[in-house]
Structure formats: structure tokens, C-alpha cells
Amino acid sequence: MTKSTRRLAISAAALALAGAAANPAAADAVADFYKGKQITMVVGYGTGGGFDVYARLVARHIVRFIPGNPTAVVQNMPGAGSLRAVNHLYNLAPKDGTVMAHFSRNMPLLAVLGNNPNARFDAHKFTWLGSSSSFANDAYILVAGPKSPIKSIEDARRAGGAPIVLGGSAEGSTSNDVPVILRDTIGLNYKLVAGYPDSAALFLATERGEVDGRMVDLSGVKTIKPQWLDKNSGYKVLVQFGRETRVAELSDVPTARELALNPSARALIELTELPYKLSRPFAAPPGVPEDRARALQAAFLATHKDPQFRADAEKANIDISPVGPEAVIDAINQIEKAPPELFEYLKKLFAANKG
């Protein structure tokens, strides 16, 4: 945890405690509401992937910090790169503070672009809890399997050569969208096989050689397929996305920014990397009563400070570099302030690659 993140967590917890002390009746009302209740944690992906790991870990621990100590159940709701779960959270889930969700970091960008009619939500109106990771110690990596003829980023950028065949899930997911960005910004020569239901299926497809490789969080590989990172495994990490600098353990792998073809390409990379500041986002529906919203936000940050939670996260090899709701809103605001020409370019880019 960085010093700034630590200060944010401490100040948020202090504010929550101060508010409870100043208004014990409100705190009691929240505890009375949650006592005996069950919280539902919706996950926008199937079981066995990185999102599922984060969601189950947070659900298991956060109930200890919510007044009234409710129980929690995890509900996997895969579909459309987690868009199904986001639409459910925004439009259908109870707005009483008993439902929260974990979904793709790319959903706010999808909403801001406004070119997907299936995105039926306003990113600003969610009750944001925060993000378990700000990508301080993580990277979104392109990995090629041992059965692939592509052995380096130079192979994958060679014009006229055989394209690297990548597996993807659904429109709006980073596994589909980032390769499009890399094609136009670093010259990635790729072919996408879309429609895989979840991360577990993409891992399996890469191992079987159905596809040459995939885009995936480094933390997800460390948790689910750590053997891929063995130097003798035959798996090759070709490029890092979502980072300004190289992550220490992949010091020999270039970032997308380093490989940008020109300044305009670098600007496009920087815009599309903004969602990684809220890399593992959690939110409740809009309209949650204010006292319960504050309690959930304080519980989220308190969970991420908790030694027991952090020990479990370390065992799972996942990046914990949390930010609170203010940082999530700030990232969304930064996305909205991008030059209009970049938005138009992205809209055309993704429209041209539908299906």
C-alpha cells in the first residue's frame, strides 16, 4: 500500500468512526438494518478467474466491518464482459445496501464513450465503494503460449507475418478491446477469436493451443497459473499495458507506451490506461441510503487494511493497492476530460471491430 493510499484509508475510517460517534442513532440504525441480513456480491464473470477470486475474498471479509455483521453470498453473473452484471446492478438490484458487485474496469469507459446501446447505466451514479487494486503492483499483459509460433513482441508486430491469434470474451471486455488499441498504437498484428465465456476458458484455450495467447492481469496469472511465469515454461510475456513504467518482476518486458508508434498513439494509450487506476472496482447500486452507503464505503477500506484480509490476499498472490470512492470518481472525470478527437477515434475503432 502506498503512503497516499494508506492516508486515504486511515482518514476514511477515521471519518466513519467520527460520524458514528457524533450520530450514534444513525450508526445503530445501520446496524439494526444489517443484523440478520444477507449481502449479495455479484461477480460479472464466471468462477475460477481473477475477478471471482477478488470478489470472494472481499465478500468473506467485508461482513466483519459492516455494522450488524451480515452474512454474504457470491453470485456469478457472467455475460458481455461483465456488462450484464453492471446493468443488473444499476437497473434491477435492490437499492437498500444489500447488493454490491465486482466487474470490469472498462465499464466506465464504455459508458463515457456512449457507443454501446446495451450499456444502460451512468457511471457517476453508482454508489462506488472503491477498487482493490490501483495497479501499483500489477500489469495487463499479453501472454503467448508454448505452442504459439509467436515468441517475441517483434514477431507479434511483424507486418505481413502470421498474426498472433488471441482469445477474447465479449465486446466491452478488456480482452477484446485492448488488442484493438495495441493494433493501432504499437502495430500489433493479431486475429481475435471472441466468445469465450470467462477467464478460465481463456486459460484452457491457451494451454490447448486453440489460440496463441491472451490478455490477462499479471496478478491473475500469479494466482491461477503461476507456472506460466516460470522461465522454462515456454510461456512468453510480450508487452505490459496499464502501466506508466515496467513492473519490477517483468523488467525485461516493454510497456505499450514504450512501443507507441507516434505521440498520437501514446496519447491514445494513456487515455485507455486510465481505467486501470480502478482496476478491481466494487460498487453498490445508485440510490443506496446515505448512512448505509457511508458504512459500506468505510467497511470496504477497513477490509483492505485488515491484516487477516491482507494475509489471505498474499496467499492468493493478488495485488492489493486499494483506493476509495473518491479516486474512482476522479478516474472517471479524467476519462471524460480527454480530447474529443480521441473519443471519436475510439468510437470508430471499436465500431469497426464489432463482432
The strand pair at 99-102 and 236-241 is best described as unpaired
Q: Who contacts 58 (Cβ-Cβ below 8 Å, separation ≥6)?
A: 41, 102, 132, 282, 300, 303
Neighbours of 291 (CB within 10 A): 19
Least-confidence region, from 18-27, 99-108, 224-233? 18-27
Three cell numbers written together for 143: 501472454
pLDDT digits (tens, 9 = 90+) for 149-197: 999 999 999 988 899 999 998 665 788 889 999 999 999 999 999 989 8
pLDDT at residue 26 tops 80: no
Three cell numbers written together for 4: 497516499
User: Could you check whether 3-136+276-350 and 140-273 share the same CATH topology?
Assistant: yes
pLDDT digits (tens, 9 = 90+) for 185-196: 999 999 999 989
pLDDT at residue 243 tops 80: yes
Three cell numbers written together for 44: 460479472
At 20, the pLDDT band (50, 70, 90 cuts) reads very low
CATH top-level class of 140-273: alpha beta
What average pLDDT does the segment 299-308 reach? 98
pLDDT of residue 348: 81
Dihedral sign of CA atoms 152, 157, 158, 162 in order = positive
Structure-model confidence comparison of residues 217 and 24, the more confident one: 217
Q: Who contacts 235 (Cβ-Cβ below 8 Å, separation ≥6)?
A: 143, 144, 145, 146, 228, 229
pLDDT of residue 175: 84
Give CA–CA dist 137/324, Å, rounded: 17
Q: What is the pTM of this model?
A: 0.80
| Main-chain phi, psi angles of 321, to 5 degrees | -140, 70
Domain boundaries, the chain: 3-136+276-350, 140-273
Q: What is the second-level CATH architecture of the domain 3-136+276-350? A: 3-Layer(aba) Sandwich (3.40)
